[in-house]
Structure 1
Amino acid sequence: MPSTALIVIDMINTYEHEDAEVLVASVREALPGIATLIEHARASASPVVYVNDNFGEWRSHHGEILDAALAGRHRSLVEPVVPDENSLFVVKARHSIFFETPLAYLLGQLKAERLVLCGQVTEQCVLYSALDAHIRHFDVVVPDDAVAHIDADLADAALQMMSRNMSADVCTVKDVEFDG
């Protein structure tokens, strides 16, 4: 099995944006799966890389982003997925985890060939990140019970696109294996 990295997308979140209330319900459903993936990746010593929006705060770093999210009104959605001391953290400003970030370089250093994507939002950041991973020749895995959405119909379409057009393995959390 190729070297696998877990990528946790935008889960360190204050939920203070336009679609937050719709998103929160879906995050609650996806949260157990995301937490399970993090636990399994850590147990197998596979890299866990958080890639998170900076929310337009160009002076922010991961500690400030985490502190703001934990101080927010949806702290319970952040606590189960807090990065540990071995987690890696990349700050992004746009939808794709790769767009103008050092992630591709980091994954090269980790010798990762397979990426398990989880987090939010399925029809936005997860979709664009899966496409960018695919064109960079990574094997992509997207557990459909570990991604959250704003629009269920668009999320379903996005998962179909990832499977059909990007050769992503769209599966469930229980089907994901980490190699360490």
Structure 2
Amino acid sequence: MSSIQVRPATLRDAKAIAQVHTTSAMEAYRGLVPDDQLKSMSSVEKRQAYWREAIEFCEPQVQVAVDGDKIVGFVGFDRSRDPKTRPTTGEIWAIYAAPTHWNQGVGLALWDAARDGLQEEGCTTVTAWVPLRNERALRFHEMAGFKREMTTAKTSVLGSVKIEEVRLQRPLN
């Protein structure tokens, strides 16, 4: 029985969210991004400032997964940031679980909360951008019913590294 609870993030959660974001990204991108680049991306302080602002202004909306009193994951979601998408299209801006809690239902609990939140906002579809080489993230989204839109593939620059991303989409109903 999972003890994972999901709740809206508070400003006090920003540091824990940044720590989960950093450790999870470091683990997820190991082998995809050179080690020196990973180290330069590992600033908890920069991420803490970003998530603090996101929580304060609700852009994106942020929910945290809590196991006992420890934050073990988070999701940021809102309307799609992609140009020319319908106003009823939502987007998962970020979804991360602490590596210590991978494959334990954290991602699913966060996805359920984001789906509910997006439906409350009137969204009928949802998208997410995922690096093509991040097999774990692609598998997670596809198991949650997302389908790849290969015509959307684009190259993003992460530091000095180019990463191919693809948009995934699914209906919310």
TM range (shorter): 0.3 to 0.5
Which structure carries more helix by proportion?
1
Greater relative contact order (Cα < 8 A, sep 6+): 1
TM-score, normalised on structure 1? 0.34
Which structure carries more strand by proportion?
2
TM-score, normalised on structure 2? 0.35
Which entry has the higher C-alpha Rg, 1 or 2? 2
